[in-house]
Amino acid sequence: MEKVVLAYSGGLDTTAIIPWLKETYGYEVVCCCIDCGQEEELDGLEERAKLSGAAKLYIEDIIDDFAENYIMPCVQAGAVYEHKYLMGTAMARPGIAKKLVEIARKENAVAICHGATGKGNDQIRFELGIKALAPDIKVIAPWRDDRWNMDSRQAEIDYCKAHGIDLPFGTDQSYSRDRNLWHISHEGLELEDPSLAPNYDHMLVLGVTPEKAPDESVDVTLTFEKGVPVSLNGKKMKVADIIRELNALGGKHGIGIVDIVENRVVGMKSRGVYETPGGTILMEAHQQLEELVLDRDTLSLKKDLGNRMAQIVYEGKWFTPIREAISAFTESTQEVVTGEVKLRLYKGNIIKAGTTSPYSLYSESLASFTTGDMYDHHDAEGFITLWGLPLKVRAMRMNELKKDNTK
């Protein structure tokens, strides 16, 4: 019997897909749950998968891989989609796709199946990753398959029960969420109406609103080596553990809550609320260190490429030459991104509290208003004359044309 590897979350959708795949395609179903830091969402998965008819379940921990090989390249690039979204979902998908391909090869599977809908970005991200790594493997997307006729949670529950799967899935509508080490996203319910404020009391998982944060601030010190965080408050930690600690600190102090209407790849706008407390702190600290150590031209180009990197990752193009090229440029800039960043967290705000680096390009003698040996104020006059020459020539020519037209 041919095998299919199913990207399995344990939720109602992917549970209903198990008997549907067996019935529709006649495949043996191998479930694969990729652990990117979902935490308690993974409880009881093996029993649920087997009860639903899966031949086998893999639970693959890629948390460290996710943190070091997907999150950090985006942090170092300053990749933020549409100026707000720190791409917690988008960054995780290529790592998941890579692991699904590995399991498919191990099991000699002919197909990989995912439960992403036909309206979202994830279908693109999963499938582009699979195409790039295993172009010979078939991809099955039930939500785009004409033989998938379940259009509600109740229909899926009824289908499961008809196939002997009676699990405690409720029909209560809640937010559509995606959680991992980096963030948790929320869509649906009142968020589908942009005129309504989010019901934060009902929604938030990782933290609280700034209004409910403590009245006392907390200080945080991050140490970086070549663009990678290596310690938090003087304690050496791996990247994943630093993110976990920052999530707890940031969540407590109301950091990193973003309400955004974004442009999906498929052409529609969607509204979501993202909680990224630790990621917001880490991105800010890294940016503050780069301000100190990178020259003006490098920072300018890096900002442009960071925006491009965000678009590439959001669109599911991780395994492409252009993403690799941008990452190579970014990595070369990180050679000097070493130092210590101090921050103060207070009611949703991240306040700069001092940055130091052996590679600092800041010169106190140059920046001060006193005249030193390296800078003569008179030199600025010639510089301004030459720098402003194109503007002056253009203005003179326009004035001449105006005079000619009035004759």
Which domains does the chain possess?
3-162 (3.40.50.620), 176-356 (3.90.1260.10)
pLDDT of residue 277: 98
Residue 151 has pLDDT above 70, yes or no: yes
pLDDT of residue 166: 87
122 a catalytic residue? yes
Beta carbons within 10 angstroms of residue 268's beta carbon: 10
Q: Which of 104-113, 156-165, 208-217, 347-356 is predicted with the least confidence, judged by mean pLDDT?
A: 156-165
pLDDT of residue 263: 98
Residue 161 has pLDDT above 60, yes or no: yes
CA distance 287 to 303: 11
93 a catalytic residue? yes
CA-angle at 396, arms to 391 and 401, nearest 5°: 125
Q: What percent of the chain has pLDDT over 70?
A: 97
Report pLDDT digits (tens) over 383-397.
999 999 999 999 999
Residue 371 has pLDDT above 60, yes or no: no
Banded pLDDT at 374 (limits 50, 70, 90): confident
Residue 224 has pLDDT above 60, yes or no: yes
Residue 375 has pLDDT above 90, yes or no: no
Report pLDDT digits (tens) over 14-72.
999 999 999 999 999 999 999 999 877 677 888 899 999 999 999 999 999 999 999 99
Question: Among 146, 29, 79, which residue's Cα sits nearest to residue 306?
Answer: 79
Residue 144 has pLDDT above 80, yes or no: yes
Q: Which amino acid is at 2?
A: E
What integer is the mean pLDDT of 272-295? 98
Banded pLDDT at 366 (limits 50, 70, 90): confident
201 a catalytic residue? no
pLDDT of residue 368: 66
**Catalytic member of 61, 145, 153, 176:** 176
Whole-number mean pLDDT of the chain?
95
Banded pLDDT at 369 (limits 50, 70, 90): low
Report pLDDT digits (tens) over 305-364.
999 999 999 999 999 999 999 999 999 999 999 999 999 999 999 999 999 999 999 987
CA distance 187 to 177: 7
pLDDT of residue 364: 78
pTM beyond 0.85: the answer is yes
Half-sphere exposure of 217 (CA within 13 A, CB side): 12
**Catalytic member of 9, 35, 52, 122:** 122
What integer is the mean pLDDT of 80-107? 98
**Catalytic member of 48, 93, 125, 244:** 93
Question: Among 309, 360, 318, which residue's Cα sits nearest to residue 339?
Answer: 360
CA distance 201 to 88: 22
pLDDT of residue 370: 62
376 a catalytic residue? no
**Catalytic member of 9, 13, 48, 178:** 13
Banded pLDDT at 404 (limits 50, 70, 90): confident
